[in-house]
Structure 1
């Protein structure tokens, strides 16, 4: 077994949120789709076939499996992917950019609703870069709730503490709280600014950009980390694997 060996786990989720209750206002931009990548974390094809260049571990062996089950049972989230694999991450490791394509197939646009890349590097600590786009097509069917949920709901699912949600609050109030949490996360979570968008007013896309995640986060092992936008989120967990005595 190599040194600096880890079990890496990623849980990618989608909130069941009506696009009308998302105030990011990103639909005015035309953003190019992620180019095809040699390395694939998990890519779902048009017919539903799944491709990964990793040797993935069965879901029931993953630490994040229980969080995925709790989020699903809540009825407020859809699990898009639960993945895990073993890999060595030595110091100064530069990881491969891994392609992601998940969620509903947007027929008119010809791609999945969530697509982008995830990259794992290591300096002194592990660093995870998440670049995901969440697209919306008015022609596609979606499951919606009244508004986005506070980040605390995700934290409760990861920790196993899941009290009943507060159903008395109005959607606008919940959205404002999400905005405040996003602002706090940009400071505490070392969130990087968004890249420049490439726009062409002559093009009318078949799908509109709803939200995105653009974040690089330094991560400690044996801790659940959460990166999010108002509509999608990524939970990350690393478990160091101790070498066995020969």
Structure 2
């Protein structure tokens, strides 16, 4: 009789423990916010960018761009990644931790290779519906050039969407020079150049593996000289259509940009 009593007590204790665990579990889930398909916007993506610098002697760069003036960067208050003179970083985006990024492993491999230095690893969630016109995102990274008061790599990255996502990368890689910059000869002004400066739009459609020399063939009629004593080392001028779930690489001899978009699917 005692044996059956012990068994009953043990069984009762197990049932009571199971009931308590179930109640605790249900209470915990009730406190968590439920995520439904209605809460996730349409065309919702995780955008990921890695900006890297090739470890290369500037003297080995074949492109001669030191006397080239560049277009003034568009005014923008949006920041992808900006490093102030004191080293503090700022971004207007709600960036996610690096360990959540698909490109995180790629960034680690690049660093371990000893040939690249990753300057930016950033990702965030955003809806990119059709006809989305994104604001330029400011980038200011790399070494601080004391004489000019700027970072060595600066420019903008813009995300747009027509039928497909497009990313426009306009980055300049500056170096400090002891020489005064050479003035760029200007052509006599004409009615066309004075009223409507023309540019060669083909520079925005080059592929990532193109030599930077081919990216620098466009005419820059609306120009502004960089602050003294800067000289241009290389640049990226490219707009690329992006397929989600694919890694895209845009580069120059000294800098590169890895891009990845992850479509966030809704669940009922």
> With structure 2 as the length reference, what TM-score do the two structures score?
0.69
Could you say what the CA RMSD is over the residues aligned between the two structures, in angstroms? Answer: 2.5
Match for residue 12 of structure 1 among 34, 38, 51:
51
Query: Counterpart in 2 of 1:95?
Result: 134
Query: Quick check: which one's helix share is greater?
Result: 2
In structure 2, stretches of 5+ residues that fail to align are: 1-39, 179-208
Q: What's the offset of the Cα at 1:22?
A: 0.7
Match for residue 255 of structure 2 among 224, 232, 236:
232
Name which structure has the greater RCO, CA cutoff 8 Å, separation 6+: 1
Query: Counterpart in 1 of 2:264?
Result: 241
Q: Does 1:46 align with 2:74?
A: no
Q: Does 1:182 align with 2:221?
A: no
Q: How does 1:138-217 map to 2 (within 5 A)?
A: 138=177, 181-183=209-211, 194=218, 196=220, 198=223, 205-217=228-240
Assess if the C-alpha contact under 8 Å between 1:192 and 1:216 holds in 2.
no
> CA offsets per residue over residues 114-166 of structure 1, 9 Å max, x none?
00000000111100000000011257xxxxxxxxxxxxxxxxxxxxxxxxxxx
Q: What's the offset of the Cα at 1:23?
A: 1.3
Assess if the C-alpha contact under 8 Å between 2:76 and 2:135 holds in 1.
no
Q: Per the alignment, do residues 185 and 220 of structure 1 end up closer, same or farther by CA in structure 2, a change over 3 Å counting?
A: farther
Assess if the C-alpha contact under 8 Å between 1:30 and 1:205 holds in 2.
no
Give the distance between the partners of 2:97 and 2:213, measured in 1 at CA: 32
Q: Does 1:112 align with 2:151?
A: yes
In structure 1, stretches of 5+ residues that fail to align are: 140-180
Give the secondary-structure state (helix, strand or coil) at the position aligned to 1:182: coil
> Aligned pairs, how many?
199
Query: Counterpart in 1 of 2:199?
Result: none
Give the distance between the partners of 1:116 and 1:44, measured in 2 at CA: 13
Q: How does 1:121-136 map to 2 (within 5 A)?
A: 121-136=160-175
